[in-house]
Amino acid sequence: MTIKSLAIIVVAALCFATLMLFLLVGRGGRDGTRAGTKATTAVAMFSGKLDIRTMADFRVAGRRVMLCGVSFSKPASMEPLVREQARSSFQNSEVDCVQVGGGTPCDGRSAPVFEGGPVVQCRGSDGSDIAQVLSESGYLCDVPAQSGGAYKAC
């Protein structure tokens, strides 16, 4: 193989790689938006009864949600006790939820969807932020990277 034919193969490979990179990255994914632009999506708002299945599995009106800015960070052995205490205070309470992007403490810091469910801020009928109350009660802990420090740390 001569130097000239090797150079032609290298140039062709670089052109092919550049084309593939443009197709994969330049289009921004399946929605067809350009890289660097944000697709506008409607922010979900919904209401319903809160169901605490585990301290990592919250449901509102049967829909799995992730409370923005907080998580269960205690030892796993404490989860059943903490879950029962949280349930005694909040199970089946009516809440209004808004997805990240609709004016939550996590806007700009958290994705609006995690593991297929919306990341939300929920408020009780008295207007209290459920994540705030759960963190102040010591049931959940602040995740400052998502909330910007809006909730109580453990």
What is the domain-level CATH number for residue 120? 2.40.50.90
E-state strands within 2-55: 45-54
User: What average pLDDT score do residues 73-93 get?
Assistant: 95
In a shared domain, residues 31 and 52: no
Residue 154: inside a domain: no
Residue 152: inside a domain: no
In a shared domain, residues 58 and 80: yes
Partners of 142 in the β-ladder: 70
Burial of 146 (0-12, 13-18, 19+ CB in 10 A): buried
What gap in Å lies between CA 61 and CA 145, rounded to an integer? Answer: 28
Give percent of the chain with pLDDT exceeding 70.
82
Instruction: Name the pLDDT band for 5 (thresholds 50, 70, 90).
Output: confident
Whole-number pLDDT of residue 37: 40
Whole-number pLDDT of residue 15: 62
Residue 74: inside a domain: yes
Which of 31-45, 56-70, 127-141 has the weakest average pLDDT?
31-45
List, for residues 84-139, the tens digit of each pLDDT value. Answer: 999 999 999 999 999 999 999 999 999 999 999 999 999 999 999 999 999 999 99
In a shared domain, residues 33 and 92: no
Domain total of the chain? 2
Instruction: Name the pLDDT band for 25 (thresholds 50, 70, 90).
Output: low
pTM of the model: 0.71
In a shared domain, residues 119 and 86: yes
Residue 83: inside a domain: yes
Residue 31: inside a domain: yes
Give the up-direction half-sphere exposure of residue 105: CA atoms within 13 A in the CB hemisphere: 22
Q: Domain range spanning residue 7?
A: 1-39
